[in-house]
Each structure stands twice: as C-alpha cells, then as structure tokens.
Copies of this chain bind each other. A is one copy, B any other.
Amino acid sequence: MNEPKDSRNITEVDLLLINGHVVTLNDRDERHPHGAVAIRGEKIFAVGSCEAVQESVNARRTLDVTGCVVLPGLINSHTHAAMTLFRGLADDLPLMDWLQKHVFPAEQKLTEDWVYRGTLLACAEMIRSGTTTFCDMYLFEHKVAEAASHAGMRALVGEVLYDFPSPNYGPWENGLKHTEELIRAWQKDPLVRIAVEPHALYTCSPDLLKKCFALAEKYDVPVITHLSETQSEVDQILEQYGCRPVVHLENLGLLSSRLIADHCVALHESDMELLARRSVRVVHNPESNMKLASGIAPVPQLLSMGIPVALGTDGCASNNDLDLFGEMDTCAKLHKVSSLDPTAMPALTVLHMATRNGAKALGLENQVGELSPGKLADVIVVDFQKPHLTPVYDPVSHLVYAARGADVSHSIIHGRVVMEDRQLKTLDFEEIAGHARQFARLITS
C-alpha cells in the first residue's frame, strides 16, 4: 500500500507517464529505467524515477507505458512536407531528368489546397513516426503553417524565395512581403514560427540574399537555405562569383548563427572552419544525399569542430519517407563506412542530432529537445515489446539501430496527445489519403 502523500508538496498535473524507461537526453544524459514523466499544461513538470515523481504529483490521467522507452520527440530539421504527394513518382533517374521531366511538371499542378493536403499527409506520417517538430521550405507556405497548426505539430516554416517568379506570390519583391506578413501573422503562435527562406545561392542573387537577411534581422527570425548540396553547385558558384558557396555568403556578410544551412555536402576544410567560426547551424540529410547521389557530408568533422549538426529527411521525392528513426540508422552507418571507422558516429551522438541538435539548429534549445522540467512537453513513447527490439541491453542502441517509426505508440506535442496507441487524434487519415490519391490521379492522367 502506498503511503499517503504530503498534500502540501503535491502538484496537480494533467498527464503522468509511468513505468517507462525514460531517456532524458539532458546535459547529464540521465536515464530512469523505471521512470516517469509528469506533464502540466504544455510543459514538463517532473522527470525521474517512478517513485520520486509519483510522490510529488496527482495526475488527472495516468498512462502506464511498461515495456516502452520515453524520450523527447524527434526533430526533422529539413523537409519539404507537401512533397509527400510526389512520393515514388520518379526514382533512380539522372538529377536533371528527375527535376525537369518529373518534379517541376508535377509542381505546376500544385495549388495552395494541394500543399495544405500534402502537408497534412506529411504530418500524419511524421506524428506516426515520432517526429514532433519539423522545419519546412516550400511554396504556399501559409498553408503549411495552417496544416501544422491543425495537426498540432511544432514547426518552423517559410516560403521559398528565388529570383524568378513564384506560382504563389509572383516576383520576389512580393515574396519578401508575403514572408513579412507570415512572420507577423504567426508571431504569437505557440507552435508555428516563420523563417526567411532563400532557396539557394544559385537561384538567389546577392541582392535578394541580403534583403532576406535584413528582413530576418528585423524580426529576429532564422534564415534557411540549401548550401553546398552538390559539387556541381559549388562549381557553378565558383564560376559565377569566383568563390565557393560558403565564402560567397561570408563575402556578403551573411554567415552567422542566424543561418540554418541545409545539406553542406561539398565542403572544403576551410568552408567547415568558416561555418564553425560563424556559428552557422547545419542540417544533414543523409538518405536524400544518398538517393540523389549528391555525396556524403563531412558530419563527423563538423561535429568535432563544435557545430551541433541536426538531422533532416528532406522531402519525400528524394528519400522517400519521413521516418527519422530510419534516418538515424542510415546516418550512423553511412559515416562509419565512409570513414572506415566503426567508432564514428556512435548511437547517442546520432540520437542527439535528431533531438537536442535539432532544437539548437532551429533556435528552440530552450524549449524542446530533451526531457527536463520546464521544457515544453514534446514527448514520444516507443514500444519495445517487439521481436526486433528484444532483448534490450541499451535502449539508445535500439532507438538508432533497430527501432522504426512504426514502433512509436504515443506522441505528445505541447502537452497534447496527438497519437495514442498509434491512432492519430488530430488528423483523419482516410480523408487525407483520399485527397492524396486524387492528386496522384491528377498528375498521372
């Protein structure tokens, strides 16, 4: 029988997870093999051993997660969510054929409604695979923000900007205005934030890039761009501006901690030093880089220089899923074989990339990425009672090398249960799937 609690020290909480193996990913990498997490409102109230936490709280609702691992929700730091609509449309093609004969023509059929629906499909997939925050770049991004909000997902999103006219906003000047409106509209939202997102150095003039940074500074929001994704991009910038992409940004005075740089595959040692010195945030997308044959980003070196590299899936046209569990596995293995060093990229390092480092990259390090009292309650539960997760010596090993998105049983974002026993609580998958099939018929007819 439990002893009566001392009511003076008891706090009422909304949700209490008990009997899980809690992997906090806090600074001390604390684990609680028979642990509990208490959630009050949108925040984590307590994390610790079951005994200690249960003594200090009265819970409106208690969830017994015996046999499960509880950890911070995963952070997909680079994707193009609505491209779920193009999943498997065209694979195994030369890059230019893929883009010009398949992706671009299909994108001509996009409207803001399709982007909304495609993003809902992505949110359904991400929630079901343990992602609680995503960072997006695409067209009609106001609908991405709406979809994330509807799904109850945390997101950093921004309209893609480039020199040529956009099907959404027309000329780039309008794109900047559109972005500014988005920033203002979502400024107080608890889940969705806006970034300024110039597409890449080969699609944006120095003038546009500078205006993007000025806008971002005005509102103190991040700038996100694709950077050094391929050697041919580097060659093109070298030819156009006489310097490598990273140096081009440095020359424009735009390398800073405000910048989130996606891919960073084709880097020289000197590029890496510049990125580190300027505290640029880097997002690694191993599966997309592999599938498009872009190359292998020097992630172990970037990490060793103190850059907290984050992890992303990129869009579904080049992956072809949004499962960060699979991405972690591939990430760890890819860098071991490419360096011929089995000690490269240990499991915990890779798990940090998909959680803590993601939070740092997106400027959310004070809010999410670990299970600690006071942080926002973005929490996932992974059910280890499966053959492929048996036996357990170290849960972190399984999270990276054996678990997959389908093993996530519960997902909580901002204190709200958005998936329970694999059932989505905020989204109607049947309706979403119907729309996606309708779109597939549209672009293949």
Contacts and interface: CB of A to CB of B under 8 A. Distances in A.
Interface of A: 84-85, 87-95, 98, 121, 124-125, 128-129, 287, 289-296, 319-323, 326, 329-330, 332-334, 336-337, 339-347, 385-388, 390-394, 397-398, 401-402, 404-407, 429, 432-433, 436-437, 439-440, 444
A436 B384 CA distance: 13
A346 B90 CA distance: 11
Given A88-B398, A390-B121, A337 B404 contact: no
A80 B321 CA distance: 29
13 contacts: A88-B397, A92-B332, A93-B342, A121-B387, A124-B387, A125-B387, A125-B388, A129-B388, A293-B336, A293-B339, A293-B341, A391-B433, A406-B406
Contact of A393 (B88, B295, B345): B88
Given A91-B401, A293-B344, 13 more contacts: A87-B393, A92-B332, A125-B387, A128-B388, A291-B336, A291-B401, A323-B404, A387-B432, A390-B432, A390-B437, A391-B433, A404-B404, A404-B405
B393 A440 contact: yes
Contacts of A398: 87-88, 320
A304 to B, nearest CB: 16
Contact of A390 (B84, B91, B95, B404): B84
A322 to B, nearest CB: 7
Contacts of A336: 290-293
Contacts of A326: 326, 329, 404
Contacts of A295: 337, 340
Nearest to A346: B92
Contacts of A347: 91-92
Nearest to A292: B342
Contacts of A321: 388, 401-402
A293 B342 contact: yes
A387 B293 contact: no
A146 to B, nearest CB: 18
A333 B330 contact: yes
A291 B333 contact: yes
A216 to B, nearest CB: 32
A342 B289 contact: no
A337 B92 contact: no
Residue among A293, A294, A340, A440 facing the most chain B CB atoms (10 A cut-off) = A293
B393 A429 contact: no
A323 B387 CA distance: 11
Contacts of A92: 332, 342-343, 345-347
A88 B394 CA distance: 6
A388 B343 CA distance: 32
A92 B401 CA distance: 11
A36 B42 CA distance: 50
Contact of A391 (B125, B129, B439): B439
Contacts of A392: 88, 437, 440
Nearest to A406: B406
Contacts of A341: 293
A436 B386 CA distance: 12
A205 B4 CA distance: 71
